[in-house]
Structure 1
Amino acid sequence: MRIKDISRTILGLVVLCGGFAHAAGALARADDALGHWSTPARHGVVDITTCGQSVCGHLQSSDAINANADARDTHNANATLRSQPLKGLAMLTGFVRADNGWTGGTIYNPEDGHTYRATMTLSGANTLIVKGCVIWPLCKTQTWQRIR
């Protein structure tokens, strides 16, 4: 083999290995949002887990839960759901993995009782950017910090 051919072969292997590493990294990142996350000012803790092919999040604690362990979802826009407990309440549902995070999901805000379209994006290993929108561009973005 000539040096030129060897160089092409090595370059091809480097590109191929880089592609596999990228694909493996993308697969590994699919579950990076799993864990316990603190909402801004530590007002709440949300446990993000897998739910079928997507990820979802359930409220584990909040100021209301800390004040009353039996706190209910009294602000829910649906009156029939106002008696459900806040602890364990599904806040994040329907998210699917996208190139830069998770899309197609919704976030429920127990403080106002409404559900919003949402996206989530990791910004480092321990920071999750959560964006909820009434309609784009009417959105609110929060930065959540990983607890564990």
Structure 2
Amino acid sequence: MKYFSLLLLFSAICFSGFTQNKDAILGKWINSTGEAHVEIAKKGDKYFGKIVWLKETKDDKGVVKTDLKNPDESLKSRPILGLEILKDFVYTGSKWADGTIYDPKSGKTYSCNMTLKDNGQLNMRGYVGISLIGRSEVWKRVK
């Protein structure tokens, strides 16, 4: 029994080193194309992200960029800057899952998982249906 307790304690210590801080993704991130900064924040036990900076806030005619590709006609006039594009992520112990990511360039919403890599970069995996069928990109923390 003494050895079992010692083994259990050792296992708990080892595994605690592998778990991430659930709030480690909080803050500002730059997307893979460098066109936007997204600030990830927490509301209750869920994580959300909104666009807080755009490389170009206006189109070539000088008009503020809006959500023109949104399939909901009533949302097409909302500005891209300030748009919440990450919604409802929950921390599972190794990743932030069960959330969605909205792509204002296409007007589509995808299921999404986020994983913080050892190098501090954020791996974003957007998909339809199952995670195997999708696209990944890497975001970097804004300094």
Identity across matched positions, percent: 26
**2:109: which partner in 1?**
115
- Residue of structure 1 aligned with 2:12, choices 19, 22, 25: 19
Higher helix share: 1
Deviations 1:27-48 (A, max 9, x none): x610011111111131111100
Larger deviation: 105-114 or 93-102?
Answer: 93-102
- Residue of structure 2 aligned with 1:30, choices 22, 25, 29: 22
- Residue of structure 2 aligned with 1:42, choices 17, 29, 34: 34
Instruction: Work out the number of aligned pairs and report it.
Output: 139
Q: What's the TM-score, normalizing by structure 1?
A: 0.80
**2:139: which partner in 1?**
144
Shift of 1:22: 4.3
Preserved contact between residue 95 and residue 115 of structure 2 (Cα < 8 Å) = yes
Q: What's the TM-score, normalizing by structure 2?
A: 0.82
Moved over 6 A (4+): none
**1:56: which partner in 2?**
48
**Structure 2 counterpart of 1:126, which letter?**
G
Shift of 1:19: 1.8
Seen in structure 2, the aligned counterparts of structure 1 residues 145 and 66 have a Cα distance that, compared at 3 Å, is farther
- Matches of 2:50 and 2:92 in 1, distance apart? 21
Q: What's the RMSD between the two structures over aligned residues?
A: 2.6
- Residue of structure 1 aligned with 2:91, choices 92, 97, 103: 97
- Residue of structure 2 aligned with 1:132, choices 108, 112, 126: 126
